[in-house]
């Protein structure tokens, strides 16, 4: 598959001086230690600007970030896992309103028999974000199958379709649905059906050990420091969490974003139908009458994608349009896509969101969008 064409800013309607300011700001923030490392990719109208890669490959280390650096992007994995499920929907193997227990029978335990695939994709299932013993399982280096078994035994926090509660456990079950229906693991499904089709040669769910030296280390929060199960550990990098284990580059993830912008295709390769893209990027909460109005209107979700929350403190930017969508990742990552601008941006840092990277990512996104004519 051809390389993503890299062009000068003016070719895609980006002001050269303002883009230069974006580059200088990104490099200043890493030089000043505000962010250990930063990778930025921006595309518009099917063409990409030269990615920005600045900082160091490891926190508090002198090694300069490599030009071919890879990042653990945490919950930016979730839209990719959701997109895998949508391929099953397109192929007539799953429906959005199918009971999860009809696909994974043991999931129906403890009152979960009415949870639908749609609920998992919109964070409305009633499942918690993480298992109560999440850290203990990680400390024991348990496999993904043990996490899925634990989720199948959970009780719901509320009736499906009545509230929104962000839930990584629901995305874990989406991965298990792909496994059960396709007969292969989610990492293998993504590799064959999405990454290979989109030309995402540097992307994998869980690390490719041949490329482990290219992965930029995340500055760990206190609860992970000194542990052998944290984000930078061989265990976690190889775990392949459906909700947060994607390792990729800014340029690679942009290819996924371009497919979302182009109705499911990139260059000559079509992966999803326009119908899937419309469903993934439209407000799915609007059809759930029991969801509180403030969520349905002000904090909407598509299928795997978070739609633009204009005026909310957790917004991606002050300048994105009403049809924009994207996602955050706890390791300090963000992506946004705006169909009206025909543009997408990925911003990968190595400072976790809870440690303050979100402020810088929003500020830089504002600068990027203000450069577009």
How do residues 259-292 score in pLDDT, each as one tens digit? 999 999 998 899 999 999 999 999 999 999 999 9
Report field, pTM of the whole predicted structure over 0.75: yes
**Sign of the torsion formed by the C-alpha atoms of 204, 209, 214 and 216:** positive
pLDDT tens, residue by residue, 67-112: 899 999 999 999 999 999 999 999 999 999 999 999 999 999 999 9
CATH number of 79-85+93-184: 1.20.58
pLDDT at residue 60 above 80? no
CATH 1.20.58 domain range(s) in the chain: 79-85+93-184
* Tokens describing residue 305: 């994608």
Quote the CA–CA distance of 31 and 41 in Å, as a whole number: 19
Q: Taking a C-beta distance cutoff of 8 angstroms, is the pair 302, 287 a contact?
A: no
Could you tell me which residues come within 8 angstroms of residue 226 by beta carbon, excluding any fewer than 6 positions away?
A: none
What architecture does CATH give domain 9-77+187-370?
A: 3-Layer(aba) Sandwich (3.40)
CATH 3.40.710.10 domain range(s) in the chain: 9-77+187-370
The CA distances from residue 205 to 197, 320, 332, in Å, are 15, 29, 18
Residue 279: alpha-carbon gap to chain centroid: 17
Determine the 3-state secondary structure of 271 from DSSP.
Answer: coil
pLDDT on residue 64: 81
């Amino acid at each position: 598959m051809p390389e993503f064409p890299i062009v000068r800013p003016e070719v895609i309607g980006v002001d050269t001086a303002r883009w230069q300011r974006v580059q200088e700001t990104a490099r200043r923030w890493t030089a000043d230690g505000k962010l250990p490392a930063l990778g930025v990719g921006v595309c518009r109208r099917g063409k990409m600007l030269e990615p920005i890669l600045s900082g160091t490959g490891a926190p508090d280390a002198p090694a300069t970030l490599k030009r071919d650096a890879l990042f653990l992007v945490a919950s930016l994995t979730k839209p990719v896992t959701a997109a895998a499920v949508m391929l099953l929907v397109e192929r007539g193997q799953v429906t959005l309103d199918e009971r999860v227990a009809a696909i994974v029978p043991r999931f129906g335990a403890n009152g979960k028999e009415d949870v639908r695939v749609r609920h998992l994709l919109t964070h409305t299932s009633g499942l918690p974000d993480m298992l109560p013993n999440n850290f203990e399982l990680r400390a024991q280096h348990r496999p993904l199958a043990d996490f899925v078994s634990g989720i199948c035994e959970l009780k719901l926090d509320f009736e499906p379709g009545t509230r929104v509660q962000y839930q990584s456990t629901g995305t874990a079950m989406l991965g298990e649905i792909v496994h059960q229906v396709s007969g292969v693991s989610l990492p293998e499904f993504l590799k064959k059906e999405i990454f290979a089709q989109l030309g995402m040669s540097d992307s994998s769910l869980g690390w490719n050990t041949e490329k482990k030296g290219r992965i930029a280390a995340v500055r760990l929060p206190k609860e992970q420091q000194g542990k052998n199960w944290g984000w930078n550990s061989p265990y976690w990098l190889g775990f392949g969490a459906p909700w947060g284990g994607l390792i990729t580059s800014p340029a690679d993830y942009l290819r996924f974003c371009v497919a979302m912008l182009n109705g499911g295709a990139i260059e000559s390769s079509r992966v999803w139908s326009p119908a899937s893209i419309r469903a993934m990027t439209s407000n799915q909460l609007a059809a759930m009458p029991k969801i509180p109005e403030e969520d349905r209107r002000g904090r909407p979700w598509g299928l795997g994608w978070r739609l633009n929350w204009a005026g909310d403190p957790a917004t991606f930017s002050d300048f994105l349009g009403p049809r924009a969508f994207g996602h955050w990742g706890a390791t300090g990552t963000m992506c946004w896509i705006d169909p009206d601008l025909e543009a997408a941006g990925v911003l990968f840092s190595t400072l976790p969101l809870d440690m303050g990277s979100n402020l810088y990512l929003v500020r830089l996104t504002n600068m990027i969008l203000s450069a577009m004519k």
